[in-house]
């Protein structure tokens, strides 16, 4: 069953369909507390694997790919469903329901932080904690709000993906990782960016970079931990403070490390902050 079929029907998808569609991986004991990891734009669940395995001995760990990313069912990609972050939030809700979980700790990188927030507003009983790694409620500048990008920047990014996706990936990866001392991480991010199907990479980028969740921040009642790195060109350092000032139950931790992919460059640091919540 594709998401187009799902969009035309009120019948819920079976758990087996969701698990297959989102390439869900479950690690750890069946009776353990559940931690769900969500990946950011242009990547997949493998970016969380090293951190997830640190918790799999005691906790039930859930990894998944948003439709269009990684090993997900590309045939289920429906541009109508995924024309806003709400479609991805619905994916997350369906994954949690499919594994039979409640009161999960959701750890989301980048845009997944906001996807998790939207899902928690819709289904608060599913979430005990949100841990957001380098999140942003809006990427484009808007009056006094500085998101870090101009509209023309985003349009140029979209044009670059369409014109030459491998070249775009090769130029962007070093800038977003901001860690020349870790060439293996740069190469990995570059490979993931280049591997995303081009139509998904372009459409998802448009949805992400033109998204605006600022008006929903006050509705996020789930306790939240915002992990903000320094020197992040995707999510400027002041964004963390902006978020916690507007989220009712949020705490900010400033990480003493640079770049947007800190879960790859500093996995033990991120794992340490997850442990503080656990």
Range of the domain at 50: 3-138+214-277
Domain-located, residue 229: yes
Q: Which of 39, 109, 203, 260 is catalytic?
A: 260
Give how far Cα 237 sits from Cα of 138, 241, 243, Å. Answer: 13, 8, 11
In a domain, 246, yes or no: yes
Does residue 257 sit in helix, strand or coil? strand
Quick check: 5 pLDDT over 90? no
The total domain count for the chain is: 1
pTM for the model stands at 0.95
Q: Is 232 a catalytic residue?
A: yes
Q: What tokens were used for 184?
A: 């293996």
Residue 265 near residue 177 (C-beta atoms within 8 A): yes
- pLDDT band with cut points at 50, 70 and 90 for residue 3: very low
| DSSP of 134-186 | S--SB-B-BTTB--SB-HHHHHHHHHHHHH-HHHHHHHHHHHHH--TT-HHHH
Q: 148 with 138: CB under 8 angstroms? A: no
Q: What is the pLDDT of residue 12?
A: 81
Is residue 107 packed enough to be buried (19+ CB in 10 Å), middle (13-18) or exposed (0-12)?
buried
Is pLDDT of 4 > 50?
no
Comparison of pLDDT for 5 and 265, the residue scoring more = 265
Residue 199, classified by CB atoms within 10 Å of its CB into exposed (0-12), middle (13-18) or buried (19+), is: middle
pLDDT at 99: 98
Model confidence at 77: pLDDT above 80: yes
- Does 171 fall in a domain? no
10 confidence band (pLDDT: 50, 70, 90): low
User: Does the active-site annotation cover 72?
Assistant: no
Residue 9 pLDDT greater than 60, yes or no: no
- Give the pLDDT confidence of 28-41 residue by residue, as tens digits: 999 989 999 999 99
The H or E element containing residue 35 is strand 34-38
CATH number of the domain where residue 269 is located? 3.40.50.1820
Does 65 participate in catalysis according to the annotation? no
In a domain, 192, yes or no: no
Residue 49 has pLDDT above 70, yes or no: yes
Of 44, 65, 91, 232, catalytic? 232
User: Average pLDDT for residues 50-73, to the nearest whole number?
Assistant: 97
- Is 269 a domain residue? yes
Instruction: Look at residue 208 and tell me if it is in a domain.
Output: no
Mean pLDDT of 145-162: 97
In a domain, 166, yes or no: no
Domain membership of residue 125 (yes or no) is yes
Contact between residue 26 and residue 97 where contact means Cβ atoms under 8 Å apart: no
pLDDT value, residue 178: 96
* Catalytic pick among 110, 120, 211, 224: 110
Distance CA 23, CA 212 (A): 28
* Measured torsion, CA atoms of residues 135, 76, 264, 28, in degrees rounded to the nearest 10: 110
In angstroms and rounded to an integer, the radius of gyration of the C-alpha atoms of the chain is 17
């Amino acid at each position: 069953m594709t998401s187009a079929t799902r969009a035309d029907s009120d019948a819920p998808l079976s758990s087996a369909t969701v698990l297959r569609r989102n390439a869900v991986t479950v690690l750890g004991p069946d009776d353990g507390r559940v931690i769900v990891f969500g990946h950011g734009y242009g990547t997949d669940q493998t970016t969380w694997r090293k951190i997830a395995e640190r918790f799999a001995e005691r906790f039930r760990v859930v990894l998944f790919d948003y439709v269009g990313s990684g090993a997900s069912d590309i045939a289920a990609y429906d541009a109508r469903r995924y024309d806003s972050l709400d479609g991805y939030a619905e994916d997350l809700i369906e994954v949690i329901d499919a594994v039979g979980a409640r009161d999960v700790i959701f750890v989301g990188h980048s845009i997944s932080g906001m996807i998790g927030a939207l899902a928690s507003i819709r289904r608060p009983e599913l979430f005990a904690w949100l841990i957001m790694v380098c999140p942003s409620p809006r990427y484009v500048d808007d009056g006094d709000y500085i998101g870090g990008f101009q509209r023309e920047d985003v349009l140029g990014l979209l044009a670059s993906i369409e014109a030459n996706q491998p070249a775009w990936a090769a130029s962007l990866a070093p800038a977003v990782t901001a860690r020349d001392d870790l060439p293996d991480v740069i190469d990995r991010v570059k490979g993931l960016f280049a591997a995303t199907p081009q139509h998904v990479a372009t459409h998802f980028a448009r949805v992400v970079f033109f998204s605006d969740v600022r008006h929903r921040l006050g509705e996020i009642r789930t306790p939240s931990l915002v992990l903000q790195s320094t020197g992040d060109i995707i999510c400027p350092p002041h964004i963390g403070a902006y978020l916690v000032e507007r989220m009712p139950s949020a705490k900010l931790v400033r990480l003493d490390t640079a770049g947007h992919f800190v879960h790859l460059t500093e996995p033990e640091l991120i794992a340490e902050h997850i442990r503080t919540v656990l």
